[in-house]
Structure 1
Amino acid sequence: MYSFTNDYSEGAHKNILAALIKTNFEQASGYGTDHFCEEAANMIKGLVGNEDSSVHFLAGGTGTNTAAISAFLRAHEGVIAPKSGHINVHESGAIEAVGHKIIQVEETNGKLTAGQVEEIAKAHYEDEEKEHTVKPKMVYISNPTEEGTIYYKDELIKLREVCDKYDMFLYVDGARLGSALTSVDNDLTLKDLGSLTDAFYIG
């Protein structure tokens, strides 16, 4: 029986273990500056279809979300996320602990729509006292969602259009991205993610 509780409940594939054993005693510099990371980064850039993209290696989803959101946002800016989103429910307040408000949205099946995002952005910019409120600057989604649903290309295109309209970042939590990309219903590719989002990660 297989459990899909999380990505950490499974062991490593035998080919990964074999590669680790093969290179175990090879000395290399740390912190992502070794030739293995360089090779991996170049492979990812090729799959994303953007040689100018920036690839970083981090440990764990919460740390990655916190680092990315902190890097993208200024102190008065917040992130729009589904109410069930991982950053809102399961990350022990990490995002708000570093000073960025999560603007929660009641979603359907874990997914945000472009209409919901536009409604929040529009409300902010039409507020005569908007300088006193948190500015929505990023849209956070996870693919697949915490409900197990996936985003389709047309949904991402519409989210991108709204983000461009209101000068917001689109960020994808990809802790389970492999599951989304291999779903029989999926129509997104890594190249799509590279062109439609400002940042995403592969868990």
Structure 2
Amino acid sequence: MRQFQCDYIAGCHPDLLAALVRSNAEEVPGYGMDHFCEKARELIRTAAGAAQADVFFFTGGTLTNRTLISAALRPGQTALAASSGHIAAHETGAIEATGFKVTELPSNDGKVSGEDLLATVLSYETSAEQFLLAKPALLYISYPTETGSLYTREELQAISRICREHGLLLYIDGARLAYGLAAADVTLAEIASLCDALMIGGTKCGALDAEALLIMNDSLKEGFLSQQHLRGALISKGRLAGVQFAELFRDGTGDFYRSLGERAVRDAQRLRAAFIKAGITPDGSSPTNQQFVRISAAKLAHLNRNFRCEPCGKAADGRELVRYCTAWSTKPEAVEELLAAIGETEALP
């Protein structure tokens, strides 16, 4: 059975595994106070063009989101997110469990529009009953989005400008950032310059189970390590994340990290073209490694014989909605086999 249901089905890139083995016997301090983590921090800062950023390491995306957002907000404040956003739809109420509301905005192909953001903020600012409302204080977006779409440079700039003009923090979840960087000409440095905090995903981008959180906004930095520990998110053997991220950003440019997404993006776009040719309709505009499609039961049954995808419910037209996901680890022969199988569905209803 070929696996196309997600982008974290393999362990880690061989280069990262080799680095972990090489460093395994060395004894270093815990909690990220080691030279591996410090090297990784410097390499990430260089690649992101964020010399003054604080960098923290986590073991998963939901834990990163929960820690950053709950530490950033104050009682009576709310985080804004697209209705399809990870914190709104796929985190089991993790943010709400910390006592903060997630206010959902319309999802436009997975994205929050500047118009909807501004309307929401102005609605609060012009209300005569602000004391009855949760104050918008942080906007959460992801790059790529949950549907695989990407914000354009202009969209990111507009959102960043609105947040800064109205006093909102902008947090970008980059759990799949390598695929986003591989699919567009927006750079890591540009993204980092537009937000207050940025997660650089490792788990879905070649690492075992590591994420890096960059905090650019000084108001979020003070005491954050304590906030991380308070929420059970501080890694005692922080070196494990440090070794992996030092390898992912080994040249200080981020080129290796971005390259891990390049073939996955190319493969996903080949699948997208094959789906269209076979009468299987893409759902959304994804230029990245996730492809959501509306597919008939007969065609899906044929593909399910040898290829595993992620069921996503029923599409509005009654067909099945599923996700096929490529990754840095996807084998070329698996892609070729899936392409051939998709072609075989052309004759099926």
- Give the TM bin, normalised by the shorter chain: over 0.9
Instruction: Quote the Cα distance in structure 1 between the aligned partners of 2:174 and 2:71.
Output: 17
Aligned AA (2:72): F
Distance apart, 1:3 and its partner CA: 2.2
How do 1:157-172 residues align onto structure 2 when only pairs under 5 Å count? 157-172=157-172
Instruction: Quote the Cα distance in structure 1 between the aligned partners of 2:95 and 2:12.
Output: 30
Hey, what does 1:22 align to over in structure 2?
22
Instruction: Quote the Cα distance in structure 2 between the aligned partners of 1:154 and 1:67.
Output: 29
Distance apart, 1:2 and its partner CA: 5.8
How do 1:29-178 residues align onto structure 2 when only pairs under 5 Å count? 29-178=29-178
Which string of whole-angstrom CA distances, capped at 9 and with x for unpartnered residues, describes residues 19-49 of structure 1? 1111111111111111000000000111111
Instruction: Quote the Cα distance in structure 2 between the aligned partners of 1:77 and 1:165.
Output: 17
Instruction: Quote the Cα distance in structure 2 between the aligned partners of 1:11 and 1:160.
Output: 35
Aligned length: 200
Instruction: Quote the Cα distance in structure 1 between the aligned partners of 2:3 and 2:198.
Output: 27
* 8 Å contact kept, 1:152–1:187: no
* 8 Å contact kept, 1:111–1:145: yes
Hey, what does 1:189 align to over in structure 2?
187
Which string of whole-angstrom CA distances, capped at 9 and with x for unpartnered residues, describes residues 153-184 of structure 1? 1111000111012100111111111111111x
Which string of whole-angstrom CA distances, capped at 9 and with x for unpartnered residues, describes residues 88-140 of structure 1? 11111010110111110121110001111000000001100012200001111
Distance apart, 1:10 and its partner CA: 2.2
**Is it true that 1:198 corresponds to 2:199 in the alignment?**
no
Hey, what does 2:6 align to over in structure 1?
5
Aligned AA (1:191): A
The structure, 1 or 2, with the larger RCO (C-alpha pairs under 8 Å, 6+ apart) is 2
Instruction: Quote the Cα distance in structure 2 between the aligned partners of 1:108 and 1:194.
Output: 23
Hey, what does 2:302 align to over in structure 1?
none
Task: Find runs of 4+ consecutive structure 1 residues off by over 3 angstroms.
Answer: none
Instruction: Quote the Cα distance in structure 2 between the aligned partners of 1:187 and 1:111.
Output: 18
Instruction: Quote the Cα distance in structure 1 between the aligned partners of 2:52 and 2:145.
Output: 28
Could you tell me which runs of 5 or more consecutive residues in structure 2 were left unpaired when the two chains were aligned.
Answer: 202-349
Identify, as 1 or 2, the structure richer in strand.
Answer: 2
Instruction: Quote the Cα distance in structure 1 between the aligned partners of 2:9 and 2:155.
Output: 30
TM-score, normalised to structure 2, is 0.56
* 8 Å contact kept, 2:3–2:9: no
Instruction: Quote the Cα distance in structure 2 between the aligned partners of 1:139 and 1:55.
Output: 20
